[in-house]
Amino acid sequence: MRIDKYLWCIRYFKTRGLAAEAIKKGHVSVNNVKAKASRDVFPLDKITLRRDQINYSIKVLDIPPSRVAAKIVDLYRKDETPPESFEHLELIKLSKEHYRAKGEGRPTKKDRRDIDEYTE
């Protein structure tokens, strides 16, 4: 099975086109070699992909016949991503929300004073 189709089948990407685009940008490698969208995937291959600032590590267990339900995805892959990656993503989300919500505009006088105090 092609790697773009495999990543779509095991629900790492919403569409096959998004999977192919990520592969084209060089975010996906198979057995530590950059992959092309047409590369075939076989059981026991190790796939590394970067998505949402996380480097996922996947081990191929089996090839699905078509797109599978989210509940049975674990039959076809083993996720070997370290948990520290997900904790790092949570920290990034919290740091973005801590200062101000997006679209609130320019900093207020209090925000400016806090920024100046922090930088001193």
Of 53 and 96, which is predicted with more confidence? 53
pLDDT at position 117 is 87
For residues 59 and 44, the answer to whether their CB atoms sit within 8 Å is: yes
DSSP E strands: which ranges in the chain? 28-30, 33-34, 46-51, 54-60, 77-79
- Rounded-to-integer distance, Cα 99 and Cα 79, Å: 33
Q: What is the pLDDT of residue 105?
A: 76
pLDDT digits (tens, 9 = 90+) for 65-118: 999 999 999 999 999 988 888 888 888 777 766 666 666 778 788 888 888 888
| Mean pLDDT score across all residues of the chain | 88
- CA 54/CA 43 separation, integer angstroms: 23
The confidence band for 8, taking pLDDT boundaries of 50, 70 and 90, is very high
The residue ranking higher by pLDDT, 96 or 16, is 16
**Contact indicator for 47, 30 with CB cutoff of 8 Å:** yes
pTM strictly above 0.75: no
H or E segment and range at residue 74: none
